């Protein structure tokens, strides 16, 4: 089960690319996974990095022309969305282990 944030970003990707729902979700899932992240515990900060650094390449591979503006549009939608404010999950293993190792 993906996070609502993943669902939101996939929906926006679908809108801005003309992808089908399946294509948009699949592309986003591949980008998230290749960043070493889990769609089930994705945070806003992580999604931003995925959209900025990996998504343009993924979209280019799938024949999308203006990849940077598509990613910027999804990022803008994300900035304006209430879902971005409610997300502050710090219970991923990285954060937990960092906390446990802190003196």
Partner 1 sequence: MEESAYIGGVIVCLGYLIVAARLALLGAKTREMPEQLLAVTFLLWGAAYACWQLPLVSGDDSIFAPLYAAGRLLTDAGTIASAFFLRLVFRPNSRVATGLVAGIAIGLALGVAGSGWVGDWASIDPLGNPWWWVEWSAVTVSVAWIGVEGFHHYGTSKLRRRLGLCSALDCNRYLLWGLSGAIWVVYELVYAIQQIEFKATGVFSASLDAIASLLEVVPIILIWFIFIPPAAYQRWIARSDAHPAAAED
- What track of x and - describes contact with partner 1 for positions 40 through 79 (by CB under 8 A)? x----xx--xx--xx-------------------------
- Say if CB 59 and CB 70 are below 8 A apart: yes
What's the min distance (Å) between Cβ of 51 and partner 1? 11
What's the min distance (Å) between Cβ of 18 and partner 1? 27
Does residue 93 touch partner 1 according to CB under 8 A?
Answer: yes
Residue whose CB is less far from partner 1, 82 or 93: 93
Question: Given candidates 35, 73, 75, 81, which one binds partner 1 under the rule CB under 8 A?
Answer: 35
């Amino acid at each position: 089960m993906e996070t609502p944030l993943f669902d939101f970003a996939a929906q926006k990707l679908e809108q801005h690319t003309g992808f089908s729902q399946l294509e948009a979700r699949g592309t986003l899932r591949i980008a998230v996974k290749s960043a070493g992240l889990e769609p089930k515990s994705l945070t806003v900060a992580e999604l931003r990095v995925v959209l900025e650094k990996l998504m343009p390449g993924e979209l280019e591979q799938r024949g999308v022309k203006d990849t940077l503006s598509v990613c910027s549009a999804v990022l803008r939608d994300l900035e304006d969305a209430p879902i971005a404010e409610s997300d502050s999950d710090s219970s991923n293993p990285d954060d937990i282990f960092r906390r446990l190792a802190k003196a």
